[in-house]
Amino acid sequence: MRIQLLYFEGCPNWQLADARLREALDTVASAAKVERVLISTPEEAQAWAFRGSPSVLIDGRDPFADERDPIGLSCRLYRTAVAVEGSPTVEQLVKVLSRG
């Protein structure tokens, strides 16, 4: 399984997403490594279909993406069971990692 964490430097939530992603990987007992991908320009955002920071790709697919979400250098929000947060929860990540 290939896992990539896409982010831009000014995002206040990418480190939280990184920590939660690592915890989720431990939970599912995966040895997969997380590749961090810094998105720096609008052109890179277009090339990666970057729907905001942080974004998680599993085997090249963003399991949280909605086609209506804009592509660009922006912060991304995730609906969780409790509130809207700047990162998927560990539980949400475990769920998508278990499918992959």
CATH number of residue 57's parent domain:
3.40.30
* Residue 53 lies in domain: 3-99
Inform me whether the pLDDT recorded for 100 exceeds 70.
no
Nearby residues of 22 by Cβ (< 8 Å), 6 or more positions away: 34
Mean pLDDT taken over the chain = 94
pLDDT in tens, 28-74: 998 899 999 999 999 999 999 999 999 999 999 999 998 888 999 99
When divided into structural domains, the chain yields a total of 1
